[in-house]
Structure formats: C-alpha cells, structure tokens
Structure 1
Amino acid sequence: MKKTALYTFLVIAGLTTLTNCTSDNDVENARVKTTLFVENFTDNTDGTILNTTGWTNFAQVGTKKFTEEVYSGNGYAEFTSYGSSQASNIAWLISPGFDMNKQDGEKLVFQAAHAYLTSVDNSLELMVSTDYDGNIANFNQSNWLSLPVTTPTPSNDFYEYVNSGEVDLSKYNGTLYFAFKVKGSGTNTALDATYQIDNIRLYY
C-alpha cells in the first residue's frame, strides 16, 4: 500500500515538474559574441607615423597624420595638429574592409581620450563607407557617413579613456570600411588638441 502511494506521488510530482518547465522556444539564450576584428596597436613603435597592417593613414588637409605611440607598454593611435604650423589639418585613419554579408548583427566599440581639448570644432568622428574601394587614390569618389558615437569632451580629464558605446553596423551590406576622422589646426591654439584611440573591436 505504501509502495503504491509512493509511486503515485512520484508520478504526479514528475508530471508537475514537466508542466512547469519553460520550453526552449520561450527562452532567448544569451548569445556568445563572436569577434571579427580587434586592434589594440600592440606592435606600435613609439613616435613614428602609424603604418599598422591593414590601416590607411591619410592626411586629407595639411600633412599631419596619425602616429604610433606607446605609454607604459600600451600602444595606441594618436593625432594632434600641434606643431603643424598649418591652418587646417584633417586626418583619417581608415580600417581594413569587412564583408558585412557574411554575418548579421555587427557592432563596433572603441575607446578614445584627449588632451588640451577646448572646442567642439576640434572634432573626432567615426565615419563609415560601403563604396570606398580601399584605394586611397579613389577616396574623393567615395561617400562617408558620420555615425553618432561617444567621444571625449573638454569636461573629461586629460588622457581619460571614454567608451564609444556600442555602434550598430548591422544595417550595412557589402564591404564596409570605418574610419576615425580628426579636424584640427596648427595655428589656432583652440584647435590643436591631442586625440588617442585604442581598444577597437568589431563583433556580432
């Protein structure tokens, strides 16, 4: 009698447990992020013109380009108009190209810092293009879009790294290039700040 009662209890308990379980379709499992690209500038040579493999370092206006810098063993890309003696400096650091048709849900993050930044006209922008062909000789034939992103402001402390926030690139198809564009001046002291860029990651 006790065995029969115990068996009945276990069957009922088992059925109750099963009916209380949530089906796999009702649960969105946490998705592991897959990294497509990382750039930490670990191979930098301090104080030289940046020539990191895959990147294009381009002076659009003036002659100043991004440089490779290292501080306490950490490498990063840096740009400043200071010392250029040129009224306008516009420089681009253009990434390698990425095939956006191979995966979905692409996101980009990076960190940036400043020193001596006093004006919003001394800007750092994140740009993207899907019709740039990777040849800097054809740069003027390509279209670039500035994307909303968090960058350092004068209220940030010098060399305080700011997180860009997650930049959604998932709507783009074909080959995408992203770039960091800096505007400054070597003759206007309000526009000769330093920008540093590091810890770039593209993932989905």
Structure 2
Amino acid sequence: MKRTNKFLTLILTMVAVIAITSCVQDDDYTIPNSLGNDENEALTELLGQLNDVNSGVTALTVTQVKKLYTDYEEEQSGFDYDKFYQILSDVVVKGYVSSSDATGNFYKEFYIQDSPTNPTAAIQIVLNQADSYNQYNQGREVYIKLKDTYVGLTSSEVIAIGGKTDDDEVGQFTAVQVPDYILRSANTEAITPLELSFSAINESHVGMFVKINNAEFPSYLNGELYGDSSEDFDTQRELQACDGFSYSNFILETSSFANFYNTALPLDKGGSIAGIVTKSYGGDNLVLALNSLNDVVFDQERCTPLSLDMFDVVFEEDFVGGLNGWDVINTEGTQSWYAASFGGDSYVRGSGYDGSSAVTMVSWLISPSFDFDAQEGEQMVLEIADAFSDAGEEPLKAYYSTDYVAGSDPSTATWVEVGTDEIEALPINGGFFDNIYNETGFIDLSAPTGNGFIAFVYDSDDAAISSTRDLGNVKILAPQ
C-alpha cells in the first residue's frame, strides 16, 4: 500500500511539473509562418479600407507622419510646449522593420523605414513590449493605424509614434493597444543596408539600417569590450573609417543589456559595420546601435588614410587675385557670388542676405573648361567656411556639365549634382564669421568624359535661406 501511494505521488508530481511548465512564457519564440486569424482579418479589413476611396481611411508616408510633428513644432515658441502631436484623422502608415531587439540592444522600441532598399525616411515605434522581434522581426512589413495616436519626441529627441503621452513626450503603445494599432503582414523583406560614410550620416538617417565600409575601432581601444562594466546603462565606443586624407569618426553605443556587452572589440582587422542610426540619451549625439554582432564584418586589413603623395593635383583654384576666369551668372535675383579676402584668406562668397533681409538668389559660379579625359579617377576636394547657418537646407550645390557652352544661360545645359553628402557633412557655424575652412571628403568626378565645366550654385530657396558660404579652394586630384 505504501509502495502504491509513492507511485501515485510520483505520477501526480510529474503532472504538476508539466502543467506548471506549460504555463511559463517561453522567450525563445520563432517567427510565425502564418499569422493568427484575428490578425489576418484585421489587416485584410484595413487593406480593403485603404483601397476604397470612400472609406475615409488614407495612407501617409513616413515622411508625412514626421512632418505632422515638425510642422506643429515650428508653430511653437519658447521651450514650454508639449513635444507631441495627437493624430485625429483616420490615417495609416506602412513601413519595414529595420531594427531588432533579439540581442537586447534595443528595449521596448523598434524602427521602421519606408523601403527595404534605399529608404528616404524612418521613424521609431515605442511600445510596452519586450522581445518585439518575435512579432516585428527585421524586414517585417507593418501597418500602423494612427488615429488617436501621438507623434513627437522621446527623451532621446527621436521622433516616434506612440499610443499615449509621457508628461510632455510621446509615450508607449500599451500592451492592450499593440494588437489593435500595429498590424503585421505575412511579408518579410530582406533589408539592404544603406551604404554611407561616417561623415555623411545626419539626422535624416535616424532609424535607418546603414552600413559603413573601411571601418575599424581605434587602436587605443585594444583590450576593451563592447561594454564598460563601470557604466550602468550604455557604453559608447569610438569608431573610425578612412575618409579621404583623414579618418572620420562616429560613436557606437551598446546597451548594458545586450548579450554581447562583455564581448571583446575586434581590433586586429577592419571592414564593414552595419547598424541603426539613433541618438544617445538626451539627443546630444547621433550614434550607431547594432542589431547583432553578425553585422560587424571585420575581415580586412586595417585601413590607412590617403596621402597627397598618392595623387597629382591636376587643377587647383584658390581665388587669390579674384575670380581668375570663373564666370558668375544669376538665374534668379541680383545678388551674386563675389571674390573677396580677409585675414590673408582669399575666397568667393555666396550669401542670401543683403544686409537687412533674406533675398531670392540663384547664382552660378562656373569654372573654366576642364579636360576630364586627360586623367582618370578624378576626385574633387573643397575648402568651405560658413557663417549664420542653421540646420535647414544647404544652399550650396556642386555640379558638372559636359554640354554647357561657356557664357550661356546655365539653366539650358545638363548638369549632374555631385558632393551632396560631403558638403552637408561639414560642420555648421551658426554664429559670426570665424574664418575656419573645413575640407570636404572626396567628391567623385570620375564619371564625366571630354571637356566640361564645374559649377557651384548658391540657391536661397526663394529667400528661405540667408546663410553665408565662402569657397576658399577647389582642388581636383587624380591618382598617380
């Protein structure tokens, strides 16, 4: 009888263990091959509404959603205002998940970008849900219903969408809201990282999955880990990449909850690194955050910046003595590029400010004819100083043309823009003239053939821009 009781006790214990185990949440989910019926029905209904012009439901792009907040913010004055905008219309935004919290480097957030390749905008989604990669894996196509939600800033000064407010900032979608507002399709796309240089990364790339080549950790970090044990939350490590004649630098930020926090930094080699552009707490700095160590592919020799000894200078203009054969032609307004000098520095200046107000100005500074066939692999480097700048649109554009006729109206020729990222990456001087000239990275001029022209255009965007640009040197190099 005692033996029978022991056997029954053992059986009951095993049943209880199985029952308890079955109730414990398993964090090791797999991505579902198909979605639940309720989720399928909700998405099918939403897609039907988007296709029905009479439903009243419309789609917005990621850019348009962000603009709802930035337009609201521009209308505010001072510092005491809510950093969010409530969306009251029946609108929807679609995107593709660019981030992943599978390694613990993101927490209760994910980013979506507007396309799996060559994205133009991205935005953060904040939600009260950890391990969101189980549902919203990288590349997953998601639709977010925006009526009665909020778009605005988080504590990191990142524009996000959330379901509530948190004091004067955007707050998370609650666990109850998530299934009603964030709908995933069965479609998962491969996210192709946007290839950039560190110097080209700017605010517009926040939330995008980007890739930087020729990257490495500086040698002084030898022996260090991704994480610093003395930090409570995030660790910042410097990254560098060869960028023309010097290194460009960026910050890699790693959460103390990342499963690779105690992994040694790879210092022996360099290569490519891919991650999400985001911001440090408080929004002071742009940083790169890894989805996974699989995105660190350091399998190449460490890079060495270029040296002038590797190139011949095939053209150089420092504007000493004036315009030196360069033409100035206005296609809008009367204010023009002009040659000047100050403190021993010669330059040509473009400014949309006439001394009292901003003015309409589209002024072309066009080089003498240049033979692009006389050498191969041309790269242009500019030295630019600025003043009274803001974070708005850049007024200076660079172009080349091979069908322009000297002295004619430049708007009738075909011009190809170059150097957009390199010019916009230069530091911004919001104050008075400091006479500090910054050098761009290499601007590729290897494509044009035959005789052609280079042009620099100052465009005040119908008097919306009045900042000053001083062009101090134009140099074209060719490899030896």
Which of 116, 122, 145 does residue 388 from structure 2 map onto?
Answer: 116
Q: Deviations along 1:77-112, whole A, 9 cap, x unmatched?
A: 101121176742111111111111222121111111
Which of 65, 90, 93 does residue 336 from structure 2 map onto?
Answer: 65
Give the length in aligned residue pairs.
165
Which of 32, 35, 43 does residue 313 from structure 2 map onto?
Answer: 35
Which of 452, 457, 460 does residue 184 from structure 1 map onto?
Answer: 460
Helix, strand or coil for the counterpart of 2:411? helix
Residues 98 and 88 of structure 1: is their aligned pair in 2 closer, same or farther, counting only changes over 3 Å?
same
Q: Is 1:202 equivalent to 2:473 in the alignment?
A: no
Residues 199 and 140 of structure 1: is their aligned pair in 2 closer, same or farther, counting only changes over 3 Å?
closer
Residues 127 and 195 of structure 1: is their aligned pair in 2 closer, same or farther, counting only changes over 3 Å?
same
The CA deviation at 1:38 is 1.0
Q: Deviations along 1:33-83, whole A, 9 cap, x unmatched?
A: 222211111114xxxxxxx22211111110111111211111111011211
Q: Deviations along 1:106-136, whole A, 9 cap, x unmatched?
A: 1111111211112533511111111112232
Counterpart CA distance in 2 for 1:176 and 1:70 is 28
Helix, strand or coil for the counterpart of 1:140? helix
Query: Could you tell me whether the CA contact under 8 Å between 1:60 and 1:91 is conserved in 2?
Result: yes
Q: Looking at CA atoms only, which structure, 1 or 2, has the larger radius of gyration?
A: 2
**In the alignment, which residue of structure 1 is the partner of 2:401?**
129
Counterpart CA distance in 2 for 1:199 and 1:187 is 26
Query: Could you tell me whether the CA contact under 8 Å between 1:186 and 1:192 is conserved in 2?
Result: no
**In the alignment, which residue of structure 2 is the partner of 1:96?**
368
**In the alignment, which residue of structure 1 is the partner of 2:185?**
none
The percentage of aligned residue pairs carrying the same residue is: 25
**In the alignment, which residue of structure 2 is the partner of 1:13?**
none
Counterpart CA distance in 2 for 1:168 and 1:117 is 26
Counterpart CA distance in 1 for 2:458 and 2:469 is 8
**In the alignment, which residue of structure 1 is the partner of 2:447?**
171
Counterpart CA distance in 2 for 1:104 and 1:122 is 30
**In the alignment, which residue of structure 2 is the partner of 1:141?**
412
TM-score for both structures, normalised by structure 1: 0.71
Residues 69 and 186 of structure 1: is their aligned pair in 2 closer, same or farther, counting only changes over 3 Å?
farther
**Which 4+ residue blocks in structure 1 deviate beyond 3 angstroms?**
84-87, 152-160, 185-188
Q: Deviations along 1:116-167, whole A, 9 cap, x unmatched?
A: 1125335111111111122324x23211111134224546775432212111
Counterpart CA distance in 1 for 2:389 and 2:473 is 21
* Structure with larger RCO (C-alpha < 8 A, sep 6+): 1
**In the alignment, which residue of structure 2 is the partner of 1:11?**
none
Counterpart CA distance in 2 for 1:105 and 1:136 is 28
Residues 103 and 186 of structure 1: is their aligned pair in 2 closer, same or farther, counting only changes over 3 Å?
closer
TM-score for both structures, normalised by structure 2: 0.32
2:442 alignment partner AA: E
Counterpart CA distance in 2 for 1:129 and 1:37 is 17
Query: Could you tell me whether the CA contact under 8 Å between 1:81 and 1:194 is conserved in 2?
Result: yes
Helix, strand or coil for the counterpart of 1:101? helix
Counterpart CA distance in 2 for 1:162 and 1:109 is 10
Structure 1 gap ranges (5+): 1-29, 45-51
